[in-house]
Amino acid sequence: MGYFWALAEPVGGVAVLTFVFSLALRAPGLGDSFALFYASGFLPFSAFMDLSRKTATAIRFSKSLLYYPRVTFVDALIARIILNSLTQLMIGAIFLACIIPFSRTHIFLNVPVLFWSYVMAISLAVGVGTINCYLFWRFPAWERIWSVITRPLFIGSAIFFTFESVPEGVKGYLWLNPLVHVVGQARDGIYVLYEPSYISQIYVFGISAVLGLLGMLLLWGNSKEILNG
């Protein structure tokens, strides 16, 4: 049931977006398929949200295993990251394989570019999830605060629109959201004629590395206290 829900959640999300916006708009931001356009944004966004959440709760989820001397918090993090990364890649592949044949848009998948968008999403999720793994333990209230402050990301991550369609005065602020770069990379791999020039992979991987390294240092320095807490 867990894997069924993992697939049903993005299907339901894309279905709702497709139904609502197809009534209000004549055409999506790219191509002719509302479902494919919203899937190209929702899938990498959903992968980030799910993996960052699972990484942040990895130690809590596997705490009973950490009492074994050979098992460390790093093992718990790696296991959680690998399992859920593969799950999200599987969901994306199944979803696109089912939706593309029914799309009227001419599609020529650039698989390496599309795969790289997932690499960006996964690295960002690992960085955010690792620092949150420490913060959730140190400040329990932060978990609820985080769930609240990340809700606007659903609107501000260019899922419903393209970055180019945003007014110039807003683009500078929107560019700072690394998920906008992830979504743009995914659409670059799906739409042949789409050429996003705003994407900065260095920016995404830089944020991921800084947050991940800081999170690992904090977890490592408090590992005994976390285990005994």
Q: What is the pLDDT of residues 35-60, one digit of tens each?
A: 888 889 999 999 999 999 999 999 88
Amino acid residing at 2: G
For residues 158 and 110, give the distance between their C-alpha atoms in angstroms, rounded to a whole number: 20
At 229, is the pLDDT very low, low, confident or very high (cuts 50, 70, 90)? low
Tell me if 176 sits within 8 A of 92, measured CB to CB.
Answer: no
Q: Mean pLDDT of all residues in the chain?
A: 88
For residues 137 and 131, give the distance between their C-alpha atoms in angstroms, rounded to a whole number: 10
Tell me if 55 sits within 8 A of 77, measured CB to CB.
Answer: yes
Tell me if 137 sits within 8 A of 61, measured CB to CB.
Answer: no
Structure tokens at 186: 């995914």
Examine the pLDDT at 202 and tell me if it is beyond 80. Answer: yes
Examine the pLDDT at 66 and tell me if it is beyond 80. Answer: no
Q: What is the pLDDT of residue 73?
A: 86
Which residues are CB-contacts of 114 (< 8 A; sequence separation ≥ 6)?
Answer: 185, 186, 189, 190
The size of the chain, in residues, is 229
Name the most confidently modeled range: 26-30, 152-156, 188-192, 212-216.
Answer: 212-216
Q: What is the pLDDT of residue 187?
A: 93
Q: What is the pLDDT of residue 15?
A: 77
Q: What is the pLDDT of residue 223?
A: 81
Task: Dump pLDDT digits (tens) for 78-104.
Answer: 999 999 999 999 999 988 888 877 776
User: What is the mean predicted confidence (pLDDT) over 151-159?
Assistant: 90
Examine the pLDDT at 138 and tell me if it is beyond 70. Answer: yes
Examine the pLDDT at 25 and tell me if it is beyond 70. Answer: no
At 6, is the pLDDT very low, low, confident or very high (cuts 50, 70, 90)? confident
At 162, is the pLDDT very low, low, confident or very high (cuts 50, 70, 90)? very high
